[in-house]
Chains A and B, each alone.
Chain A
Amino acid sequence: MENNLMIKTEGLIKVFRTDEVETTALNNVDLEVKNGEFLAIMGPSGCGKSTLLNILGLLDNPTGGKYSFAGHEVSGYSERQRARLRKENIGFVFQNFNLIDELTVFENIELPLIYLGLPSSKRKEHVEQVMEKMQIAHRKKHFPLQLSGGQQQRVAVARAVVANPKLILADEPTGNLDSAHGEEVMNLIEKLNQAGTTVIIVTHSQRDAEYAGRIVQLFDGQIVTENIKKSIL
């Protein structure tokens, strides 16, 4: 059973301190995510969704508690160790796409492969493949600012999956998109999950959450309810 776990947190705590204020963003979060699962994290603004996603994505360290990622205890990892694990295992999709304006569509998607040290010919092959899949091959020489929001998010998803990560983390992936484009992106993510990739999304949208097999409700830094879709049971 343990071997089937991608993510396990126990008593996860995250506290933000400024000169005057101390804010507890996460308070004793216990969470398990299995390989191949599609999880949605929901909750009101400021409940700690993004903070949790950042810690799960190894972008940030927790203040306390345990975090095991693919069998590694990572809560005490340095930025260098986290970076290595991150680039080999995790793909990110952000609400505001986070594409580099100075790079073309092709170059943006290519970046993770460069950091993985793949040779140029291999990179080209991978990028071409993923662009075909995301239907953006015809835009490969365009810059992000020349694309529509939906197209930009497709590029971001393409970039997230190009290195075949085990886990995709998406923070409000449809937040900046109209409903038609939003659905398009969610369908893409669902397809990836069906192909075996574990997916965790943070969302406000009930409709997006419906794509997930399990929904976790977060409130004031704590998990308050977990819903498992019947179809999965």
Chain B
Amino acid sequence: MIINYIKTTLRYLWKKKGYTLINLLGLSLGLATCIQIFLFVQDEISYDRYHENAEHIYRIETIWEGEGQTEHWAASQGFLVPVLTERYPEIISGAKMNFSFFPMIAEYEGQQFSEKSVAYADSSIFRIFSFEMVKGDPNTALCGPEKIIMTETTAKKYFGEGDPLGRIVKISNQPYKVSGVIKDIPENTHFHFDIAISMDQLRAIGARVDSPGPSAFYSYFTFPDKQAATSTLEKVNQDIYELFGFVTAGDSTNMPDGWTVRAIFNPVTRIHLHSHAEKEIETNGDISTVFIFSAIAIFILIIACINYMNLATARSARRSREVGLRKVLGSQRANIFNQFMTESFLLTFFSMVIALVIVQLILPVFNDITGKHIMLDLMDNASLVIALAVVLIITTFLAGAYPALHMAGFSPMRALRSDAFNSRSSRSSLNLRRILVVSQFAISVLLIIATITIYRQINFIQKKDIGFDKENVLVISLPDARDHEKNKVLENELKMLPEVLYTSTASSIPGERVPFLTVRMPDSGQEEMSSEEAEQDAFGIRVLSGEPDILKVLGIEMAQGRDFSQEFGTDESSAYILNEAAVRELEIENPVGRRFEYLYGLREPKAGNIVGIAKNFHYASLHSEVEPLMIHIFPNYNRYLLVRITPGNTRTTLAKIEETWNKVVPAMPIEYFFLENFYDNIYKSELSIGKVITYFTLFAVIVACLGLLGLVSFIAEQKTKEIGIRKVLGASMASIVQMLGKEFMWLVIIGNVIAWIPAWYFLKDWLDGFAFSTGLNLWIFVATALVSLLVALLTVSTRAIRAAASNPVEALKYE
């Protein structure tokens, strides 16, 4: 029996090639979209789950609240790991890491490499994270100073096929012994490193690793279970003021007035999608993206199934005779049902195979858009195979059950008459179809409006006056921020080039996170305070350090006072420039000349005066208003050399700059980029979401058009007789197309109007996330409506013209 079904199905599908093609295409595209979204979501939610103890690993974070502000820090002070592990026995183990934010020079047998991904790690990280050790002993690899581990790829870069263990690599001129090689860290982890230096090295040079100090560490703990983590967190929060040294005597705290602090244990598996704290190690994903994309996937799949249903039932009029005949010949209701379900299964199965081929072919494009490295590997992705099987069954039923039941329900007498299909029940299902077409157009319209708005906003922020001149600024990565002498030589050599206007080293560049560091503003005229008092008075502000020409390089204008100048020999040690936002928020009257101190990382404060106020410039994205900023001359952390060059002739200028570099730093290739490109990259996630939504919009629109084609076929089929009669009575082709088209235009207009409400709501909310936005414009809605009408009209016309052009005899001869 089943062979008969399959044979009939294959012959029928082959005979009706056009119908089969539309059906296969619609379902395949729908399934392909779903598979891609599945892979994307699977990747997003898989972050950090490969650790054996993933469910029981937590990162401690602190939340500081006061004066209407909330600061949530991902990084913490180094003492937390030893103190908490010692104090709370529920903790199985703890480990902390620190990541170098600037590249370090590594050297092996005369070869130099700039290593951008270097971390410091406690030896206990192997007890927390499941980094697979390929060579070396995880228990000892990071015990003791002057030891490093590296990833397989890095080891290969240095030693080829040779054994890395025991070899000596110099990093920032300090020799280290390679004591372990681990497998490359998977992409789906919230942090990455190529080389990890033993934390004991920092201890050996006397850094404040295990005592209160800078919040520069990421502290992880494992617990036996969730309960232990919860109870430990409660205890930590009870003791927190004491732990952080805010309790001076008894229970009274010496926290600044109105400020509170509490700790949280953030499960490591939640970090990628849920954590957006200050000082995250890498840019994290967002759970809302996962929800939005999942919703899109489900919608597109439903739409594709509905379309299949539409097409299948639209064709059932043609097949009613076959069904009637089968029934007359003794076929049971169940047989007919099974036959059509077999057909649905086969079509879905073929569609799935085609969908997998489509996904395989377009994954590179998808990866390019999402910045991921997703692979389609059925042998190694059991959950995908299970998901595909489930989708195959659901789709077979969703798409096939209605037509199968519909046809199985024909009475043989009725089925043999060709008006069987024109029954009242099929007319009520026509209303259902109309609702479904309206909803799929609503989804498409929503996506189109979102795409246009996102691109408009991106365009707006890229064109907005950002208060500095991002063009013609070359950013060169300095091989070693601490090698001031060599950096100075390089800078001086570059300054001699006629194409170079200004140069300055800098700690950060616009477009990246500018660090939040401690400063103090002693009231003018007040006597010196004790260091304890001074610490209490300190506050955090974003700090950009550079050299005297830093404002000139960036093209920032002054609002008051003066720029840094070599003429004043003291600027390097005592001049500060604030931006207008700082003056406003700190409520400083007559700022120029006021005393100012920089405290971060110094034993003695660097005391001086405010010499000028710079006009506000957008050094971060337009998501937020310009924040207070302090600029000073302080080359200690400057890892970039900014070079403003003359416009035009960029290629020659770059060649000259490279030549100069090779003269000064012969062992290393130059690494540079343009500030403009880097700055525009801060909208990478918006651009990426824009691209992904455009990508899926395209799929949704195609699938919706196929759906429309299905419905118009259905109606044209149902109205064959009416069209024939009207033509016999003199109806022109145009009037028939108009008759068929008018209804669809209404459906599309209704779909548009329905989409407007959620589009308005969600996009307004999204735009509110920017301090500066282009706003929602009515024309986007109107234009989308027009475009969707046009697309619908074209789609409907292809089928309607065919129906209208058919010979009226054709339409009537079956009567």
- Measuring CB to CB, which residues of chain A are less than 8 angstroms from any residue of chain B? 54, 57, 59-60, 79-80, 83-84, 86-88, 92, 94, 96, 98-102, 111-112, 115-116, 159
Partner of A79, one of B422, B724, B726, B805: B805
A83 contacts B815, C-beta separation under 8 Å: no
| Chain B 676-727 residues near chain A, CB threshold 8 A | 721-722, 724-727
Partner of B732, one of A54, A115, A159: A115
29 chain-A/chain-B pairs, Cβ below 8 angstroms? A54-B809, A59-B808, A60-B807, A79-B807, A80-B732, A83-B727, A83-B731, A83-B732, A83-B733, A84-B730, A86-B730, A87-B729, A92-B728, A96-B815, A98-B724, A98-B725, A98-B812, A99-B725, A100-B725, A102-B722, A111-B726, A111-B729, A112-B729, A112-B730, A115-B729, A115-B730, A115-B731, A115-B732, A159-B729
Chain A interface helix/strand/loop/mixed: helix
Count residues on chain B whose CB falls below 8 Å from chain A CBs: 20
A98 cross-chain contacts in B, Cβ below 8 A? 721, 724-725, 728, 812, 815
B721 cross-chain contacts in A, Cβ below 8 A? 98
A54 cross-chain contacts in B, Cβ below 8 A? 809
Q: A54-B809, A83-B730, A102-B722 are in contact. List 15 more A-B contacts (CB 8 A).
A: A60-B807, A79-B805, A80-B732, A83-B727, A83-B733, A87-B729, A87-B730, A94-B815, A96-B815, A98-B721, A98-B725, A98-B815, A100-B726, A112-B729, A116-B730
Min distance, Cβ B299 to any Cβ of chain A, angstroms? 33
Q: How far is the CA of A86 from the CA of B733 in the complex (A)?
A: 14
| Chain A residue, CB-CB nearest to B731 | A115
| Chain A residue, CB-CB nearest to B721 | A98
Q: How far is the CA of A119 from the CA of B325 in the complex (A)?
A: 49
Q: How far is the CA of A94 from the CA of B815 in the complex (A)?
A: 10
B237 cross-chain contacts in A, Cβ below 8 A? none
Q: How far is the CA of A99 from the CA of B729 in the complex (A)?
A: 11
A86 cross-chain contacts in B, Cβ below 8 A? 728, 730
Min distance, Cβ B732 to any Cβ of chain A, angstroms? 6
Min distance, Cβ B423 to any Cβ of chain A, angstroms? 11
Most buried by A among B724, B726, B808: B808
The answer to the question of B735 belonging to the interface, with a C-beta cut-off of 8 Å to chain A, is yes
Min distance, Cβ B249 to any Cβ of chain A, angstroms? 91
| Chain B residue, CB-CB nearest to A91 | B729
B812 contacts A94, C-beta separation under 8 Å: yes
B735 cross-chain contacts in A, Cβ below 8 A? 115
A87 cross-chain contacts in B, Cβ below 8 A? 729-730
Q: How far is the CA of A69 from the CA of B721 in the complex (A)?
A: 26
Min distance, Cβ A166 to any Cβ of chain B, angstroms? 14
B724 cross-chain contacts in A, Cβ below 8 A? 98
Which A-B residue pairs are the 4 nearest by beta carbons?
Answer: A87-B730, A115-B730, A112-B729, A60-B809
Min distance, Cβ A101 to any Cβ of chain B, angstroms? 8
Partner of A59, one of B722, B807, B815: B807
Min distance, Cβ A149 to any Cβ of chain B, angstroms? 15
A80 cross-chain contacts in B, Cβ below 8 A? 732-733
Most buried by A among B721, B729, B733, B735: B729
Given known contacts A79-B807, A80-B733, A115-B735, A100 and B728 CB-to-CB distance under 8 angstroms? no
B727 cross-chain contacts in A, Cβ below 8 A? 83
| Chain A residue, CB-CB nearest to B726 | A111
Q: How far is the CA of A100 from the CA of B815 in the complex (A)?
A: 13
Min distance, Cβ A137 to any Cβ of chain B, angstroms? 21
B809 cross-chain contacts in A, Cβ below 8 A? 54, 59-60
A159 cross-chain contacts in B, Cβ below 8 A? 729
Min distance, Cβ B481 to any Cβ of chain A, angstroms? 80
Q: How far is the CA of A100 from the CA of B727 in the complex (A)?
A: 12
B728 contacts A59, C-beta separation under 8 Å: yes
Q: How far is the CA of A28 from the CA of B796 in the complex (A)?
A: 41
A101 cross-chain contacts in B, Cβ below 8 A? 422
Min distance, Cβ A10 to any Cβ of chain B, angstroms? 22
| Chain B 774-815 residues near chain A, CB threshold 8 A | 805, 807-809, 812, 815
Give B420-447 as 1s and 0s: 1 = Cβ < 8 Å from A's Cβ atoms: 0010000000000000000000000000
| Chain A residue, CB-CB nearest to B727 | A83
Min distance, Cβ B803 to any Cβ of chain A, angstroms? 13
Q: How far is the CA of A86 from the CA of B725 in the complex (A)?
A: 13
| Chain A residue, CB-CB nearest to B810 | A60
| Chain B residue, CB-CB nearest to A55 | B809
B722 cross-chain contacts in A, Cβ below 8 A? 100, 102
Min distance, Cβ A104 to any Cβ of chain B, angstroms? 14
B725 cross-chain contacts in A, Cβ below 8 A? 98-100
Q: How far is the CA of A83 from the CA of B808 in the complex (A)?
A: 10
| Chain A residue, CB-CB nearest to B807 | A60
Q: How far is the CA of A100 from the CA of B720 in the complex (A)?
A: 11
| Chain B residue, CB-CB nearest to A51 | B809
Q: How far is the CA of A225 from the CA of B615 in the complex (A)?
A: 107
B726 cross-chain contacts in A, Cβ below 8 A? 100, 111, 115
Q: How far is the CA of A98 from the CA of B807 in the complex (A)?
A: 16
Min distance, Cβ B728 to any Cβ of chain A, angstroms? 5
Q: How far is the CA of A87 from the CA of B724 in the complex (A)?
A: 13
Q: How far is the CA of A115 from the CA of B422 in the complex (A)?
A: 25
Most buried by A among B725, B731, B809: B725
Min distance, Cβ B11 to any Cβ of chain A, angstroms? 14
| Chain A residue, CB-CB nearest to B735 | A115
| Chain A residue, CB-CB nearest to B724 | A98
Min distance, Cβ A153 to any Cβ of chain B, angstroms? 14
